[in-house]
Amino acid sequence: MTILLHGTTQRRAKLIENRGPDPDFVEPNGMDKAESFAVSLVFGPFEAVGRPEDYACRKAAGFPDEGGPAILVVDVPDDVLARAVDEKYFPLSQGFVQFDEGAGLEELRAAWPTLRRRVMPLECP
């Protein structure tokens, strides 16, 4: 198992926690579907996309009616994680994992009801 972190708002974290990642999710006033589910390794490195806490704070600032920032923590089986890792474009060494359709998202969604997951509210500086 690998612990993964997804920075977002509390409202969205609770939705994902209960329903799993939704590739059809569209932000309020948005146009594009999410299409994927991006997470960070718990210890990074975070150079590629930044710390999940910082992302959550930026997201919460953009959507102030969504309960503030939060981190969704999920334990993902290594075989599911391996489906999303692409050593050429998304190597695990960058500390970032993107689950796409055809690259682990379906397997993650299928396993979701059995995965350990929790929402951690955050305070932004």
> Distance between alpha carbon 9 and the CA centroid of its chain, in Å?
11
Residue by residue, DSSP assigns 39-81 as: EEETT---TTT--HHHHHHHHHHH-TTS-SEEEEEEEE-HHHH
**pLDDT tens, position by position, 6-19:** 999 999 999 999 99
> Three-class SS of residue 35?
coil
pTM: 0.90
pLDDT in tens, 78-95: 999 999 987 877 778 888
Given pLDDT bands bounded at 50, 70 and 90, which one contains residue 113?
very high
pLDDT at 27: 80
Q: Report the SS3 class of residue 13.
A: helix
